[in-house]
Amino acid sequence: MKSYTSETIRNVALLGHGGTGKTTFLEAALLETGVTKKMGKVEDGNTVSDYDKMEIEKGYSINTSIVPIEWNNTKINFIDTPGYFDFVGEVNAALRAAEAAVIMVDAGSGIQVGTEAAWNACERYNMPRFIVISRREKDEFNFDNTLADLQGKFGTKVVALPWPLSDIDDSLKEAIAESDEELMEKYFDGQEFTAEEISRGLMTGIAHGDIVPVCMDTFQMGQKVEGILNLLAACVPTPTHHAPYHGTDGKGEAVEKNITKDGPASAFVFKTIVDPFVGKISVMKVVTGKIEAGAELYNTRADKAERLGKPFVLRGKEQIEMPSAEAGDIIAVAKLQYTQSGDTLCDKNALVKYDALDVPSPTYYIAIEAADKNDEDKVGTGLARLKEEDPSIAVDRNAETHQTLIGGQGDIQLGIIMSKLKDRFGVTVKTVPQRIAYRETIKGQSEVQGKHKKQSGGAGQYGDVWIRFSPSQEEFEFSEELFGGSVPKNYVPAVEKGLLESMERGPLAGCKVVNVKAVLYDGSYHDVDSNEVSFKIAAGLAFKKGIVEANPCLMEPIMHLDIYVPDDYTGAVMGDMNKRRGRILGMEPQMGGGQKLMAEAPQAELFDYALVLRSMTQGRGRFEMTFERYEEVPKMVADKIIADHAAEEAAKNA
Ligand SMILES: Nc1nc2c(ncn2[C@@H]2O[C@H](COP(=O)(O)OP(=O)(O)OP(=O)(O)O)[C@@H](O)[C@H]2O)c(=O)[nH]1
Ligand SMILES: [Mg+2]
């Protein structure tokens, strides 16, 4: 593929509800531009964009892919995003590389949750946008009705746009007038716009997001996409007109960089593909300068230089070599050593680090185990590789529950991660019930004796301690108030060690014990039989007894939730929180509609919250969750946890 200049490149993200035909539209465009001879179909697994094995198997897009379409000396780099909710991280990344978005709307279904999500994402990124209506071949489809729905939802900035511009109706005229004061005056004076003014007004309006054209051109399953391509080639702002990229320079000071081919090179890596055969592919948007094969660029996050191989253009999985790439283009480079998604590569003499990617924080976790215990290491390395590809997954090894958790946006995303582990790394994993990192503590005091004595035959063992237990603000406090040499000082560290080790597994439910103060105040010893081990064991015995006698209780993690829902659903969400032992702390109306509900609930009641909230709100609700504090488990619940633990132990020892 030839190199394109900044002015002849357009970068367009394809967004929209799942299944609206984004990937299919690209197939039509590839056919129309002569790249393919026959149109691929998503259901046949032979499209250019959905090339990943998992995408073919599932029949929908999972990864963002790049499909450049060369059209009348312009190259439109389409960035095809998955429409399904779980893959919002892919959409965020795509919008960091695009100058405009096309929101695909299904003629039959009209506005869907994914349409709203796409619109909101465009608002967040100030993204100029176009609306294209797919599946218009349906009999019941009526353009004016759909347009009216879109205007009802998103406002009058949504206008029908005939292309090439022919008859310009009043709503379009008004929108053009609003783009510019001079044009507004002319409009109110009743003067006609010149062709140049119309074009200027339209471009400004689209670039600022004040005009959102709905493409009027009909296109049907694989035919006639040229109207849309013409419109996009003409009206999508060129990369050089894009709002500047924000970041920091070598001194950590804020900088803004406009896309320009002049000056030192810099590029933003928005996507990583881990190909089992080719290795790692870093997909980047060139922000400034020019990138050539063999260039040495600096990775400002990793603080390492990277030598680039030949840059290439991706078209689905196909790699097309390019001699060089100019600012504004999207290219890929293979086998970079240190670079991850969200990194900046730049000229060493002009350091810059662009703002990192917005990675959605995980809201849904599952606990996994390798089906074969010997594969644990492979699971670890596999997950680390997959996280390079999808930074929105979290991989946590919980030190208290000893479980491996993977987190993401929902069950589809995590199911795919599990399939990929099998497929690419050959390890089968299974999900297991998630454990909560309960903790044990005490609310009262106790004074107990721990005595370890073994004096039958051979060398004896003797350790005897009296310890006072009470609550503490700190995780663990230890001191001694011994008098008269009841316990020789050299055994005191062994007592402390014995207590510390016992804290790992409390007597109630085998959980970590916290917030305990222990004072060693008395004891006895034996001249011959006492040793460190005996005092350690004695301390452990004292601990068990001491905790049980000091009014112990179980503590559980309480999470803070910020839940964003449209007004209609607040009642349902609040009711559901009550069922989860949760509390609503407050409510804040949001700009642009909807409410933010602040709530707290025990983690134990929230495992499925991401899935339930989604179904409760038809996919319109979302939430963020952070750990808040530990709180005492209510007695009824605690009794059950303790009983379950006892049963588990009994089964283990049976
Ligand atoms: N009848 C008809 N079917 C279409 C049209 N466009 C797409 N389809 C079909 O709709 C289904 C979904 O199309 P995709 O292209 O995968 O939709 P998508 O928007 O890429 O979906 P996600 O990747 O899940 O977001 C496929 O079975 C297509 O063949 C169209 O214009 N008319
Ligand atoms: Mg798709």
Cβ-contact 90, 65 below 8 angstroms: no
Calculate the alpha carbon distances from 445 to 38, 181, 624 in Å.
80, 77, 39
Confidence band of 179 (pLDDT split at 50, 70, 90): confident
For residue 41, how far is its CA from the centre of ligand 1 (angstroms)?
8
Cβ-contact 354, 329 below 8 angstroms: no
Q: How deeply is 98 buried, as exposed, middle or buried, from its count of CB atoms within 10 A (0-12, 13-18, 19+)?
A: buried
Q: Region 576-605: what's the mean pLDDT?
A: 94
Q: Region 110-123: what's the mean pLDDT?
A: 94
Instruction: Look at residue 568 and give its three-state secondary structure.
Output: helix
Task: Please list, in sequence order, all residues whose beta carbon lies within 8 angstroms of the beta carbon of residue 188, skipping any fewer than 6 positions away.
Answer: 177
Q: Determine the Cα–Cα distance for residues 124 and 348; give it in Å rounded to an integer.
A: 32
Helical (H) or strand (E) element with 383: helix 376-389
Q: Region 153-174: what's the mean pLDDT?
A: 85
Ligand 1 in reach of 209 Cβ (< 6 A): no
Q: Region 334-359: what's the mean pLDDT?
A: 96
Ligand 1 in reach of 21 Cβ (< 6 A): yes
For residue 135, how far is its CA from the centre of ligand 1 (angstroms)?
8
Confidence band of 576 (pLDDT split at 50, 70, 90): very high
Give the distance, in angstroms, between the CA of residue 654 and the centroid of all CA atoms in the same chain.
44
Ligand 1 in reach of 22 Cβ (< 6 A): yes
For residue 622, how far is its CA from the centre of ligand 2 (angstroms)?
23
Task: Please list, in sequence order, all residues whose beta carbon lies within 8 angstroms of the beta carbon of residue 475, skipping any fewer than 6 positions away.
Answer: 514, 515
Q: Region 132-146: what's the mean pLDDT?
A: 84
Q: Region 248-261: what's the mean pLDDT?
A: 94
Residue of minimum CA distance from atom 8 in ligand 1 = 21
For residue 537, how far is its CA from the centre of ligand 1 (angstroms)?
68
Cβ-contact 590, 328 below 8 angstroms: no
pLDDT given for residue 221 in this prediction: 58
For residue 421, how far is its CA from the centre of ligand 1 (angstroms)?
28
pLDDT in tens, 208-228: 999 999 988 765 555 678 889
Ligand 1 in reach of 42 Cβ (< 6 A): yes
For residue 51, how far is its CA from the centre of ligand 1 (angstroms)?
15
Q: Determine the Cα–Cα distance for residues 6 and 120; give it in Å rounded to an integer.
A: 28
pLDDT given for residue 171 in this prediction: 82
pLDDT at 534 over 80: yes
Which of 318, 346, 337 shows the shortest CA–CA distance to 280? 337
For residue 58, how far is its CA from the centre of ligand 2 (angstroms)?
11
Ligand 1 in reach of 83 Cβ (< 6 A): yes
Which of 20, 22, 24 for mutating ligand 1's site (highest number of atoms within 8 Å of CB)? 24
Cβ-contact 337, 296 below 8 angstroms: no
Ligand 1 in reach of 506 Cβ (< 6 A): no
Q: State the pairing for strand pair 158-161/212-215.
A: parallel
Q: Determine the Cα–Cα distance for residues 71 and 223; give it in Å rounded to an integer.
A: 16
Which of 14, 17, 23 for mutating ligand 1's site (highest number of atoms within 8 Å of CB)? 23
Cβ-contact 384, 377 below 8 angstroms: no
Give the distance, in angstroms, between the CA of residue 516 and the centroid of all CA atoms in the same chain.
38
pLDDT given for residue 84 in this prediction: 93
Ligand 1 in reach of 404 Cβ (< 6 A): no
Q: What is the DSSP string of 237-279?
A: PPGGGSPPEEEEETTS-EEEE--BSSSS-EEEEEEEEEETTTE
Locus of tokens 């190259």? 75
Locus of tokens 């990138």? 291
pLDDT given for residue 223 in this prediction: 63
Ligand 1 atom closest to Cα of residue 41: 29
For residue 416, how far is its CA from the centre of ligand 1 (angstroms)?
21
pLDDT given for residue 476 in this prediction: 97
Q: State the pairing for strand pair 622-632/516-524.
A: unpaired
Which of 15, 17, 42, 135 for mutating ligand 1's site (highest number of atoms within 8 Å of CB)? 42
Cβ-contact 558, 631 below 8 angstroms: yes
Ligand 1 in reach of 134 Cβ (< 6 A): yes
pLDDT given for residue 488 in this prediction: 95
Cβ-contact 103, 130 below 8 angstroms: yes
Cβ-contact 269, 280 below 8 angstroms: no
Instruction: Look at residue 192 and give its three-state secondary structure.
Output: coil
Q: Computed from CA positions of residues 467, 469, 474, 476, in that sequence, does the dihedral angle turn out positive or negative?
A: positive
Q: Determine the Cα–Cα distance for residues 608 and 596; give it in Å rounded to an integer.
A: 20
Cβ-contact 67, 347 below 8 angstroms: no
Q: How deeply is 471 buried, as exposed, middle or buried, from its count of CB atoms within 10 A (0-12, 13-18, 19+)?
A: middle
Q: Determine the Cα–Cα distance for residues 92 and 125; give it in Å rounded to an integer.
A: 9
Ligand nearest to the CA of 26: 1
How is residue 558 written in tokens?
């309480």
For residue 28, how far is its CA from the centre of ligand 1 (angstroms)?
11
Which of 467, 449, 453 shows the shortest CA–CA distance to 530? 453
Locus of tokens 């909101």? 120
Cβ-contact 271, 283 below 8 angstroms: yes
Q: Region 239-245: what's the mean pLDDT?
A: 93
In order of their start, the domains of the chain are 6-241 (3.40.50.300), 245-354 (2.40.30.10), 364-432 (3.30.70.870), 440-550 (3.30.230.10), 555-636 (3.30.70.240)
Q: Region 126-133: what's the mean pLDDT?
A: 95
What does pTM read for this prediction?
0.87
Q: What is the DSSP string of 387-410?
A: HHH-TT-EEEEETTTTEEEEEESS
For residue 362, how far is its CA from the centre of ligand 1 (angstroms)?
28
Q: Region 132-149: what's the mean pLDDT?
A: 86
Ligand 1 atom closest to Cα of residue 220: 31
Ligand 1 in reach of 18 Cβ (< 6 A): yes
For residue 64, how far is its CA from the centre of ligand 2 (angstroms)?
9
Share of the chain above pLDDT 70, in %: 99
Q: State the pairing for strand pair 439-442/512-513.
A: parallel
pLDDT given for residue 222 in this prediction: 55
Residue of minimum CA distance from atom 21 in ligand 1 = 19
Q: Region 396-404: what's the mean pLDDT?
A: 91
For residue 582, how far is its CA from the centre of ligand 2 (angstroms)?
38
Residue of minimum CA distance from atom 6 in ligand 1 = 21
Q: Region 47-67: what's the mean pLDDT?
A: 93
State the virtual CA torsion across 53, 55, 57, 58 in degrees, nearest 10.
160
Question: Where is average pLDDT lowest: 106-110, 355-359, 503-507, 636-640?
Answer: 106-110
pLDDT in tens, 273-290: 987 677 899 999 999 999
pLDDT at 167 over 80: no
Q: Determine the Cα–Cα distance for residues 626 and 628; give it in Å rounded to an integer.
A: 6
Question: Where is average pLDDT lowest: 187-191, 329-333, 343-347?
Answer: 187-191
For residue 379, how far is its CA from the centre of ligand 2 (angstroms)?
29
Ligand 1 in reach of 58 Cβ (< 6 A): no
Residue of minimum CA distance from atom 7 in ligand 1 = 21
Ligand 1 atom closest to Cα of residue 62: 23
How is residue 502 written in tokens?
């016992």
Q: What is the DSSP string of 199-238?
A: HHHHHHHHHTTS-EEEE-S--BTTB--HHHHHHHHHHSPP
pLDDT given for residue 219 in this prediction: 59
Phi and psi at 113, nearest 5°, equal -55, -40
Ligand nearest to the CA of 25: 1
For residue 212, how far is its CA from the centre of ligand 1 (angstroms)?
23
Ligand nearest to the CA of 29: 1
Residue of minimum CA distance from atom 32 in ligand 1 = 135
Confidence band of 114 (pLDDT split at 50, 70, 90): very high
Ligand 1 atom closest to Cα of residue 61: 23
Q: Determine the Cα–Cα distance for residues 280 and 272; give it in Å rounded to an integer.
A: 7
Which of 608, 636, 629, 648 shows the shortest CA–CA distance to 437? 629
pLDDT at 107 over 80: yes
Q: Determine the Cα–Cα distance for residues 495 and 450; give it in Å rounded to an integer.
A: 10
530: which DSSP letter?
Answer: B
Q: Region 344-349: what's the mean pLDDT?
A: 96
Ligand 1 atom closest to Cα of residue 137: 32
Phi and psi at 201, nearest 5°, equal -60, -40
Ligand 1 in reach of 43 Cβ (< 6 A): yes
323: which DSSP letter?
Answer: S
Ligand 1 in reach of 20 Cβ (< 6 A): yes
Share of the chain above pLDDT 90, in %: 81
Q: Region 499-519: what's the mean pLDDT?
A: 96
Confidence band of 168 (pLDDT split at 50, 70, 90): confident
Ligand 1 in reach of 47 Cβ (< 6 A): no
Q: Determine the Cα–Cα distance for residues 281 and 270; give it in Å rounded to an integer.
A: 11
Ligand 1 in reach of 450 Cβ (< 6 A): no
Locus of tokens 């001191």? 479
For residue 274, how far is its CA from the centre of ligand 2 (angstroms)?
20
For residue 221, how far is its CA from the centre of ligand 1 (angstroms)?
9
Ligand nearest to the CA of 135: 1
Phi and psi at 573, nearest 5°, equal -65, -40
Q: Name residue 349's amino acid.
A: N
Q: Region 317-335: what's the mean pLDDT?
A: 93
